[in-house]
Structure 1
Amino acid sequence: MGIYLSTPKTDKFSEDGENGWVRYGLSSMQGWRATMEDAHAAYPDLDASTSFFGVYDGHGGKVVAKFCAKYLHRQVLKNEAYAAGDIGTSVQKAFFRMDEMMRGQRGWRELAVLGDKINKFTGMIEGLIWSPRSSEGNDQADDWAFEEGPHSDFSGPTSGSTACVAIIRNNQLVVANAGDSRCVISRKGQAYNLSRDHKPDLEIEKERILKAGGFIHAGRVNGSLNLARAIGDMEFKQNKFLPAEKQIVTASPDINTVELCDDDEFMVLACDGIWDCMTSQQLVDFVHEQLSSESKLSMVVERVLDKCLAPSTAGGEGCDNMTMILVQFKKPVLPVESTDKQHESPTTEAAPETDAKSGESESN
């Protein structure tokens, strides 16, 4: 299909860091894909008591993933709910805010800076189109000032990105996800999914898609997108009579809040290039095995990427871009009276990986 290279790009971008409560290592690799469309964010010290980690898997271009990596955590910090201690609400609003910020002249200009392909004949930037109508104005006071210009009516990018982020404050872990990137926690060696893959065939997604006027063909929204939720993809968000959370494709994240306990060893955030090749439990087992002999977390992640990389493009699996963040919890401490409860599954949504597999086979 023209999307693969003749030989994979196996050079990696890797990073390690730590503070008083977490250690992390991350790595990303382009692999067989013709372009690298993943992005990530790792801020162990988002503020004095909070860590932020996120993976963003772009499709149709890299610009939306890069935009999210640059701005989403900033919007979490700026939201008034964050100052009030409501991390879940602040991150949910930040997901929707990404779509708002990418519209208009200012959005077009910011995306143009992050993109690297401009067609000399049409003037189009990778993943971008012009809108024939003016976009809805944003009345919210913000430092993202309105700009006049030739792209004032730009309705946003036709490309999009998944977003899976984890925010740690004290013993609280908040995971927000839109798309099929995934967050998994290891508790006493057992993998628990802290996010759900948003595929079009899931009943709750199918119901929204059909009600908004879309359809599903061959497991894809309107026969094209194999995700039911994403940031960007503005062509699926054009119904002016519906709120953002009810559009054919929505940026609305699932929010999952977990109280960390002494049994929690590490968590993994990764794009679907990893999950196409390994189940959540297989990845947790592999990481455990590697940690017995390797202390540098980015090196453990690099070994995961190498393990997942396909020897050829014949099968498809193992040919995607790959990005993964591994976060070790240093000292999760809970009050004694609540520790017994924490030996159960982290939340009702954080089912063991073996119970949350129904949508995985639909990802290919």
Structure 2
Amino acid sequence: MGIYLSSPKTEKFSEDGENVRVRYGLSSMQGWRAAMEDAHAAITDLDASTSFFGVYDGHGGKVVAKFCAKYLHQQVLKHEAYLQGDIGTSVQKAFFRMDEMMRGQRGWRELAALGDRLNKFSGMIEGLIWSPRNGDGNGNTDDWAFEEGPHSDFPGPTSGCTANVAIMRENQLIVANAGDSRCVISRKGQAYNLSRDHKPDLEVERERILKAGGFIHAGRVNGSLNLARAIGDMEFKQNKFLPAEKQIVTADPDINIVDLCDDDDFIVLACDGVWDCMSSQQLVDFIHEQLKSESKLSAVCERVLDRCLAPTAGGEGCDNMTMILVQFKKPILSGASLGDEPSASSEKLPASGASPGDESSASPADEPSASSEKLPASVDVNAESKPVECGSSS
């Protein structure tokens, strides 16, 4: 049977939810792939003032993606930086913590259990079992504080996953990304990439890979992995003389912080199974068109997946697909005036390329600062782009 089925599995796991801040819909579909390796988390109330959404695209197996869907948001909550209001630091530490947890004896047993159980299900059923609900957000049932330490015979999983996470607190949106899943915001109908696709040929990724002793062949790390950052993939993280962020492949996420305003329509988080078929602007335009006749957000997501599905196996449109659509309820609570320029800054993330979404031109508000590292234009889908100023007519 190979990596593709003789006919696609088009059954979808879909879900809708809302609270006082947001409403969301999501959908996932196995498609032509022989196995479903995507996972997701949608938690409207991570705490009383915070919502969490995440897409995890697995490769080489599904267990790491499922592990992250179950535990990553819990680790965001547990870090002391979160209690101090520093969500960016807490989510970065949570990404690294996934690798640490999977190396331990408890993680080893958990991965084995996840793989065991998940092998009995496929497609829609997996999504039903392993998409965390709101009750899983702030529980303390999974306390890893007394983990026994690394398993002597288990360096960690060779499979891995991307992680694209969006956390909303009041008027602030924090996006963390490792891999090539993507988060896009629609501001007055214009698409802006809030994450960068981490491909090995990017200069900053290539430099780290080579310094760590790896190589790039045919656009793949050591000739095999087509991502430069991921959770899991421990075979690329075995240099004991380097910190986690400098390994051949790292889980170190880019952190992008954006101030929201009433010009913002929605955000989309999706795996590359969607982005391989539609550009950021194409997807934003398609969603706006669908919302004219469909108010159920999960149904809009389903239409996107159906549009992306290839008619035959092979090429684009044959991957697993997962998409989360999050609408902001108006007015957005804001600590800043409407005229304030949204922050897209972080010490970890260089200022973005000059172009919004997938366009090649930019307004002055989109220009990177003089001290920022120059990134590829977002038409190359390897750059995040800074949203125009709230209240701007352009």
Q: With structure 1 as the length reference, what TM-score do the two structures score?
A: 0.88
- Distance in 2 (alpha carbons) for counterparts of 1:173 and 1:345: 9
- Distance in 2 (alpha carbons) for counterparts of 1:346 and 1:155: 36
- Name the counterpart of 1:54: 54
Contact 2:64 2:231 in 1 (8 A): yes
**Do the aligned partners of residues 15 and 359 (structure 1) sit closer, same or farther apart at CA in structure 2, a change above 3 Å counting?**
closer
Aligned residue type for 1:349 = S
- Name the counterpart of 1:322: 321
Contact 1:256 1:349 in 2 (8 A): no
**Do the aligned partners of residues 144 and 334 (structure 1) sit closer, same or farther apart at CA in structure 2, a change above 3 Å counting?**
closer
SS of the equivalent of 2:251 reads coil
Q: State, as a whole percentage, how many aligned pairs show the same letter.
A: 80
Contact 1:101 1:144 in 2 (8 A): no
Contact 1:191 1:352 in 2 (8 A): yes
Contact 2:58 2:162 in 1 (8 A): yes
Aligned residue type for 1:40 = H
- Name the counterpart of 1:298: 298
1:323-338 maps to which residues of 2 (within 5 A)? Answer: 323-331=322-330, 332-334=332-334, 338=337
Q: After TM superposition, give the deviation of residue 346 of structure 1 in Å.
A: 5.2
- Equivalent pairs, count: 334
- Distance in 2 (alpha carbons) for counterparts of 1:33 and 1:275: 16
Deviating 4+ runs (over 6 angstroms): none
- Name the counterpart of 1:353: 357
Q: Residues 169-200 of structure 1: CA distance to partner in whole angstroms, max 9, x if unpaired?
A: 00000000000000000000000000000000
Contact 2:229 2:252 in 1 (8 A): yes
1:168-207 maps to which residues of 2 (within 5 A)? Answer: 168-207=168-207
- Distance in 2 (alpha carbons) for counterparts of 1:346 and 1:97: 25
Contact 1:104 1:153 in 2 (8 A): no
- Name the counterpart of 1:245: 245
- Name the counterpart of 2:313: 313
Q: After TM superposition, give the deviation of residue 358 of structure 1 in Å.
A: 2.0
Q: After TM superposition, give the deviation of residue 103 of structure 1 in Å.
A: 0.8
**Do the aligned partners of residues 118 and 285 (structure 1) sit closer, same or farther apart at CA in structure 2, a change above 3 Å counting?**
closer
Q: After TM superposition, give the deviation of residue 349 of structure 1 in Å.
A: 2.8
- Name the counterpart of 1:223: 223
Q: Residues 107-154 of structure 1: CA distance to partner in whole angstroms, max 9, x if unpaired?
A: 1100011113899xxxxxxxxxxxxxxxxxxxxxx73433489x5431
- Name the counterpart of 1:138: none
Q: After TM superposition, give the deviation of residue 155 of structure 1 in Å.
A: 1.1
Root mean square deviation of aligned Cα: 1.9
1:58-77 maps to which residues of 2 (within 5 A)? Answer: 58-77=58-77
SS of the equivalent of 2:27 reads strand
- Distance in 1 (alpha carbons) for counterparts of 2:93 and 2:228: 18
Contact 1:215 1:223 in 2 (8 A): yes
- Distance in 2 (alpha carbons) for counterparts of 1:359 and 1:6: 31
Q: 5+ unaligned residues in a row in structure 2: which ranges?
A: 120-142, 346-350, 359-376, 383-394
Q: 5+ unaligned residues in a row in structure 1: which ranges?
A: 120-141
- Distance in 2 (alpha carbons) for counterparts of 1:266 and 1:59: 28
- Distance in 1 (alpha carbons) for counterparts of 2:268 and 2:381: 19
- Distance in 2 (alpha carbons) for counterparts of 1:191 and 1:312: 30
- Name the counterpart of 1:28: 28
Contact 1:26 1:298 in 2 (8 A): yes
Q: With structure 2 as the length reference, what TM-score do the two structures score?
A: 0.81
Aligned residue type for 1:244 = A
- Distance in 1 (alpha carbons) for counterparts of 2:118 and 2:171: 46
Q: Residues 193-217 of structure 1: CA distance to partner in whole angstroms, max 9, x if unpaired?
A: 0000000000000000000000000
Q: After TM superposition, give the deviation of residue 67 of structure 1 in Å.
A: 0.2
**Do the aligned partners of residues 56 and 112 (structure 1) sit closer, same or farther apart at CA in structure 2, a change above 3 Å counting?**
same
